[in-house]
Amino acid sequence: MIEEHIAYKAMTSRDPRFDGVFYVGVTSTGIYCRPVCTVKTPKPENCRFFESAEAAEKAAFRPCLRCRPELAPGNAPMDNAHRIAHLMVQRIHEGLADEGAGLEEIASEFGISSRQLRRIVQQELGVSPIELLQTRRLLLAKQLLTETKLPVIDVAFASGFSSLRRFNDAFSSRYRMPPTRLRKEAAATVATIDAEDTSILQLGYRPPYDWEGTLAFLRGRCIRDVEFVTEDSYARTVRIGKHTGWVRVKHAPQKHALLVEFTHSLTPVLPALLGRLRNLFDLAARPDLIAAHLGKDDLLSKSVEAHPGLRVPGAFDGFEMAIRAILGQQITVKAATTIACRFAEAFGEEIHTPISGLSKLSPLASKVAAASIDDVAKLGIVSARSASIIALAKAYHSGSLILEAGSNPEAAIAKLVELPGIGQWTAHYIAMRALRWPDAFPKEDIAVRNKLGGVSAKQAEAMSQPWRPWRSYAVLHIWRSL
């Protein structure tokens, strides 16, 4: 039961932490909104509060066209500024943005100017893109100085500075000490600076977490030599920009965290690496809200109770996942995995690791885009599907198709279905995992339709409406229940 005076205070605060927790209907307009909507704040006597969008619609309120309450938080048009700022941070973390060209590229993706981009980042994050970039470089430099024995000049270049002089000036200005002093102080407080080839970090999550279910999902789709899944861990090779290495992830339930072991070769792109792992393991999910919502449905309630903390596994590499989705069209998961392994063997590059099950890097879009249909078809992939894979690789390599968390899902789905051989099922499955869209719904999925009573795709779409905005999780519950 929502206490209206508390909900009204939460609404007037515009605190994003309340987004998706409740909805407000305005009696004077007949419209319901999210608590973060930027419209003029209504009077208390004109407000009615609901726990779900469905309850508001049942009370005859219409959805606001600005904040789009029927969509999952983060995916409405009003969220574009937040999405742009998030993408800017992600690009900086991956080392793909610089003072000039990177800003122009990101701005063009959203159809805005670089000046508008700078203003959005300033408004959303409180700093300019250049200040954001500088902070990221300095934080990485501090980590390298305290956790490794790299020479200071190597630390400077690995952090993204173009010269040792610029690095020393920026470091001294920010931290009021030269880099060498920080290293000496770190060495004095810690017995030895880690000289091993790997380090371990923790990534927290909101409990509960269905670790066994997540591992089972990834194990069934594991690409041999690129990924290696055991009974208690997930490992894979990594390429981010020019940096390669490997990671291994284990569960620490007593800490409500995942333990990430990573090679020091990936330290320069550590923020991007951790971001990808958060997406892959769906660590930002709110299992309490999702379970409370889906548990009301008779079809899903048993699965929700049986699998607390179920997650929607994301994608470590959007292109890799999209290829896997195309290969999985109209065949079993096992058959698709077999073909995906052949594909990685043919197009992936060799990498040496101490883990016997890891020896290949995931194929690059540029290499696949340059292949012929015959090059792909000889792996046992039909010609039409081979052409689809090459078309996807070309679109991704050219930058016209963005497949990463934070991208606009509706725009990405529209671009995906324009490619040959990609329909709504494939596009929504990619949106569910690579784009991290919690409301994606592959209504053509035969397992989902059978679970709903052998209905048509159109009927499945209509029957899924009460599950919004968490339909991706509903689909995973259905698949898990099978």
The rounded distance, in Å, linking the Cα atoms of 376 and 78 is 42
Q: What's the mean pLDDT in 383-388? A: 95
Q: What's the mean pLDDT in 340-352? A: 95
What are the φ and ψ backbone dihedral angles of 300, each rounded to 5 degrees? -105, -15
| C-alpha closest to that of 179 among 150, 209, 222 | 150
The rounded distance, in Å, linking the Cα atoms of 314 and 404 is 10
Whether residue 98 lies in the annotated active site: no
- Cα 64 to Cα 1, 19, 470: the distances in Å are 23, 14, 19
What are the φ and ψ backbone dihedral angles of 278, each rounded to 5 degrees? -60, -40
What is the average pLDDT value for the chain, to the nearest integer?
86
| C-alpha closest to that of 140 among 74, 95, 203, 81 | 95
Per DSSP, the residues of 135-170 read HHHHHHHHHHHHH----HHHHHHHTT-S-HHHHHHH
Q: What's the mean pLDDT in 202-212? A: 91
pLDDT score at 112: 76
> Could you say which DSSP state residue 360 is in?
B
Q: Which amino acid is at 44?
A: P
On whether the CB atoms of residues 258 and 281 are closer than 8 A, the answer is yes
pLDDT score at 301: 95
Whether residue 33 lies in the annotated active site: yes
How much of the chain, in percent, has pLDDT values that exceed 70? 89
Q: What's the mean pLDDT in 47-71? A: 86
List strands edge to edge, sheet with 23-26: 47-50, 23-26, 31-33, 62-63
pLDDT score at 143: 72
Is pLDDT of 196 > 60? no
Which of 19, 282, 317, 445 is an active site residue? 445
pLDDT score at 13: 74
∠ at Cα 452 (434, 477), nearest 5°? 45
The rounded distance, in Å, linking the Cα atoms of 481 and 452 is 13
The rounded distance, in Å, linking the Cα atoms of 278 and 333 is 24
- Judged by phi (left if over 0) then psi (alpha if -120 to 50, else beta), residue 330 lies in left
The rounded distance, in Å, linking the Cα atoms of 35 and 9 is 10
Burial of 327 from C-beta contacts in 10 A (0-12 / 13-18 / 19+): buried
On whether the CB atoms of residues 60 and 54 are closer than 8 A, the answer is no
What are the φ and ψ backbone dihedral angles of 144, each rounded to 5 degrees? -70, -35
The rounded distance, in Å, linking the Cα atoms of 443 and 425 is 7
Q: pLDDT tens for residues 227-247?
A: 999 999 999 999 998 889 999
The radius of gyration of the chain from alpha carbons, rounded to an integer in Å, stands at 24
Is pLDDT of 118 > 50? yes
On whether the CB atoms of residues 303 and 480 are closer than 8 A, the answer is yes
**Who's near 163: CB < 8 A, 6+ residues apart?**
156
pLDDT band of 98, cuts 50, 70, 90: low
Partner residues linked to 71 by β-bridges: none
pLDDT score at 226: 97
On whether the CB atoms of residues 162 and 130 are closer than 8 A, the answer is no
Is pLDDT of 316 > 60? yes
Which of 33, 47, 222, 341 is an active site residue? 33
Structure tokens at 329: 């069209």
The overall pTM is greater than 0.95:
no
